[in-house]
Structure 1
Amino acid sequence: MSARNMKSWICKLPLLALCVLFIYWKFLEFMSAEDWRSIYQRAFLEDEDSWIGNNIAEEEAVPACSMRHTIKKDDSLRKDFNFLVPVLQWRDTFTQSEWQKLHNLASPYGWKEQSYDEIGKTLSLLWHPSNSRLFTRNMTDECVRCAVVGNGGILKGSGQGKAINSHHYVFRVNGAIIKGFEDDVGTKTSFYGFTINSLKNSLAAYYEDGFNMVPRNPDIQYIFIPAGTRDYVMLAAAIQGVPVLSGFDKGDRPSQYFGDYPQVNQFKMLHPRFIKYVTERFLKSPLLEEYPDLYMPSTGALMLLTALHTCDQVSAYGFITENYNEFSDHYFDKEKKDLVFYANHDMQMEGLLWKLLHSRKVMWLYQRQNQNPSPKN
């Protein structure tokens, strides 16, 4: 560069600096006008969309009765629901690129501090096409109706058993005691959802109430929630029909939970992406910031959101309502027990969500006024 050109370039520096400062000022003005939470949300959505990419061409066709049509007509709901996010993970969802995206995210939103080989081995066992979906529609215009049954005390004396059984599919969770409560909670079970921790805790805590085994039937499908390594290890052992060989549950025999000869198509596992998506969109509680290693949506919430992303019409029974304090914690409690809130779940936020979705006619929530504030057997 000649001396003359150098001098000319230097003279232009103040002008360039002013341009840079102007652009920066406009950037700050823009940023101050936009809420940081919405910026974060947009980044999450962009990541979500980039992940989906070309993996799924379009949403599945649903019948006219489906609540998805209600969602599409509501601007706010349409922004929250994304039916392209896969609900389940199986053999074909485990790729090197997927590992790169999830291996730095802690459970249940990813595979941080977990073994690539262990995750890959477990998911390779979910090879059957039925492991990738909850059910297959018999006809494109079939209206699939699902009931999700929580264990709330509101069901005590409800007489909702027949209504629950009338649904095509019935989801149950954790300490799902049926014997002796058939009139209130029904007898039908299509899906049983759990983490290994919630399953074992339920067996220990509610054994005397009558929960001495998880629902067991060749027609029942088991939905694992991957809260940690132990869920993957137990799932692999259950499919292979062998004891758990390592980790927290070493020596456990999955047959004591799922029977001696379960079929591979009976097992499902929620996708970490789905859990991350429903947490970010619907249940991003302040507890997530305060207790990031502890908080996650409850088992019941995850099953209800699973149903809302797969079924056409969804009814929720035994979930928290505004007057929860009028009922016992569980429908099978021998004496009234108050619902206790812990830091691992935000039950009040979940209750507000169910109330909102009920009012928007996305789902139907069973509610009632208590007639017996101190239920006893």
Structure 2
Amino acid sequence: MGGSRHVATSSTHPGDLHIPGSHRFYCTAPCLSWRGGVGMRGSVPPPLIPVSPSSLLQPEPLLLAPSGTSRPAGSHRALRGSLERESFKPSSQPEEPKHNRRQPSPCPRSVVEAAKAHPTFGELFQFATPVLMWDQHFSPETWNRLKERHVPYGWQGLSHAAVSSTLRLLNASANRHLFDRRRFPGGCVRCAVVGNGGILNGSRQGEAIDAHDLVFRLNGAVIRGFEEDVGTKISFYGFTVNTMKNSLIAYEEYGFTQIPQAEDLKYIFIPSDVRDYIMLRSAIQGSPVPEGSDKGDEPRKYFGPEASAEKFKLLHPDFLHYLTARFLRSELLNMQYGHLYMPSTGALMLLTALHTCDQVSAYGFITANYEQFSDHYYEVEKKPLVFYANHDMLLEAELWRSLHQAGIMELYQRFQLENALHSAITPQPKRLAPGQDKWEESLAWRRNGLN
């Protein structure tokens, strides 16, 4: 374990750094583009200790550990043995909304109805939290509040001009809502969120996915050649500029050579860095990027020549803060490089759908038996899922399982029979304990630790 270490980029998860000898990867803040296989900037940390699944929901504010903070004494694995169930009261939300614009759904079983009926999720979900940011949200009060928070939860370190000039362009009615409900006369909007997990390879879920009213895809969303498994429909494409560009590099060999483009397709920007605001502004204006690491880049090659403000959605920093604080507060936040942590792109897209759609189905997301499948569905040879220092995929897996069990969403799951035949002699993947809601249990543990 001793001696000097070098850093290598990951071909499976672009923008992340693999520390040889470690099961975790390191991602610079934020994950940056890679040129010639070398990170543009960022220091190399020591190897990170693998982290067990955790849910550390705490009262506001959401504090990010500064660089140099050491891991707290004691492991989460050790604390698991002393968990005690108790009633849980969620933390307060970032900003109290004036009113809830979400109308009652005519669906027989909607996300809102199922969430409100659940003892834990009924308190966690705050459907009045603004999902998108647009021009009327930008005010001196908002600027002063969000400039105190690190991206993606705020604007700390970002220039007023970069943020304001972008938000002023998001002035169309389409920028206020993810979709127009008037397009769905039945009133029940069914959404599918398609991750890129290997569980979809050979799944034949394409027809079921396309049967939804709206379909979310993200990052390296390879479709050609996998239509039977993942479908062809796409309503929203979610990304950060970093994940978008690095997906084009890392997944080119699998056929991902262009960002999806279609007349009715909308793009969801995740504001993880100033470059997201600058790229969005240039995309709306139809001009080259004027500054920063993407200077000279042509947005039209990503979003098409006719892209206008109506094509773009920007997730609200308050929404990202709320999602992380209430649903995905990871133990990684308390580690030395906790300031790099944020939920994965897939997690943010799925939680966005859960706050806007009436019914939600998730495909290609991590499940308890993830080790049975390749990292991505389009890989010819099986590649293991690798965990990275800037995401907590096991925590996300616990959340998806809990939401599925609560009837709030449908999680596509699959068990390979050939693995079951060898279960007696082959060590099985670490599974979430059946019949035990570990996500709720971890909330109770965290609440108990704060009293």
Q: Which of 342, 345, 350 matches 2:396?
A: 350
- Listed one character per residue, the Cα deviations across residues 11-30 of structure 1 (whole Å, up to 9, x for unaligned) are xxxxxxxxxxxxxxxxxxxx
Q: Which of 48, 63, 70 matches 2:106?
A: 63
Matches within 5 A, 1:35-46: 37=58, 45=92
Match for residue 93 of structure 1?
137
Which amino acid is the alignment partner of residue 75 of structure 1? P
Match for residue 105 of structure 1?
149
Cα separation, partners in 2 of 1:46 and 1:366, compared to 1, 3 Å: closer
Match for residue 213 of structure 1?
258
Distance, in Å, in 2 between the alignment partners of 1:288 and 1:62 is 36
Distance, in Å, in 1 between the alignment partners of 2:60 and 2:136 is 32
> TM-score with structure 2 length normalisation?
0.71
Contact 1:194–1:299 (CA under 8 A) maintained in structure 2: yes
Q: Which moved more, 1:56-65 or 1:101-110?
A: 56-65
Contact 2:93–2:322 (CA under 8 A) maintained in structure 1: no
Q: Which of 283, 287, 305 matches 2:351?
A: 305
Match for residue 10 of structure 1?
none
Q: Which of 44, 48, 51 matches 2:95?
A: 48
Which amino acid is the alignment partner of residue 97 of structure 1? E
List alignment gaps of at least 5 residues for structure 1.
1-34
The alignment yields a C-alpha RMSD, in angstroms, of 2.0
State the structure with bigger RCO (CA 8 A, min sep 6), 1 or 2: 2
Is 1:243 equivalent to 2:243 in the alignment?
no
Distance, in Å, in 2 between the alignment partners of 1:110 and 1:168 is 32
Match for residue 28 of structure 1?
none
Matches within 5 A, 1:126-145: 126-138=170-182, 142-145=187-190
Distance, in Å, in 2 between the alignment partners of 1:182 and 1:271 is 32
Distance, in Å, in 2 between the alignment partners of 1:251 and 1:180 is 33
Shift of 1:351: 0.4
Is 1:289 equivalent to 2:334 in the alignment?
yes
Shift of 1:334: 1.1
Cα separation, partners in 2 of 1:356 and 1:117, compared to 1, 3 Å: same
Shift of 1:61: 3.0
Match for residue 329 of structure 1?
375
- Listed one character per residue, the Cα deviations across residues 313-362 of structure 1 (whole Å, up to 9, x for unaligned) are 00000000001000000000010000000111000000000000000000
Distance, in Å, in 2 between the alignment partners of 1:227 and 1:98 is 18
* Greater fraction of residues in helix: 1
* Number of aligned residues: 335
Which amino acid is the alignment partner of residue 79 of structure 1? E
Which amino acid is the alignment partner of residue 174 of structure 1? N
Q: Which of 291, 304, 325 matches 1:280?
A: 325
Distance, in Å, in 1 between the alignment partners of 2:295 and 2:215 is 32
Contact 2:107–2:187 (CA under 8 A) maintained in structure 1: no
Which amino acid is the alignment partner of residue 63 of structure 1? P
Contact 1:174–1:198 (CA under 8 A) maintained in structure 2: yes
Match for residue 308 of structure 2?
263
Which amino acid is the alignment partner of residue 243 of structure 2? S
Q: Which moved more, 1:64-73 or 1:95-104?
A: 64-73
Paired residue secondary structure (1:106)? coil
Shift of 1:63: 2.1
Distance, in Å, in 1 between the alignment partners of 2:206 and 2:360 is 16
Identity fraction in percent:
53
Q: Once superposed, which parts of structure 1, at least 4 consecutive aligned residues long, lie more than 6 Å away?
A: 39-43
Cα separation, partners in 2 of 1:272 and 1:260, compared to 1, 3 Å: same
Match for residue 74 of structure 1?
118
> TM-score with structure 1 length normalisation?
0.85
Contact 2:195–2:218 (CA under 8 A) maintained in structure 1: yes
Which amino acid is the alignment partner of residue 166 of structure 2? T
Distance, in Å, in 2 between the alignment partners of 1:74 and 1:256 is 45
Q: Which of 128, 139, 154 matches 1:84?
A: 128
Contact 1:71–1:362 (CA under 8 A) maintained in structure 2: yes
Q: Which moved more, 1:228-237 or 1:287-296?
A: 287-296
Q: Which of 194, 200, 203 matches 1:155?
A: 200
Distance, in Å, in 1 between the alignment partners of 2:129 and 2:219 is 25
Shift of 1:371: 5.3
Shift of 1:364: 0.1
Contact 2:210–2:232 (CA under 8 A) maintained in structure 1: yes
Shift of 1:58: 5.1
Contact 1:315–1:365 (CA under 8 A) maintained in structure 2: yes
Distance, in Å, in 1 between the alignment partners of 2:418 and 2:285 is 48
Which amino acid is the alignment partner of residue 339 of structure 1? L
Paired residue secondary structure (1:75)? coil
Which amino acid is the alignment partner of residue 221 of structure 1? K
Match for residue 159 of structure 2?
115
Distance, in Å, in 2 between the alignment partners of 1:335 and 1:304 is 27
Match for residue 173 of structure 1?
218
Shift of 1:369: 1.1
List alignment gaps of at least 5 residues for structure 2.
1-55, 63-88, 420-451
Distance, in Å, in 2 between the alignment partners of 1:129 and 1:46 is 26
Distance, in Å, in 2 between the alignment partners of 1:170 and 1:48 is 29
Match for residue 6 of structure 1?
none
Which amino acid is the alignment partner of residue 114 of structure 1? L
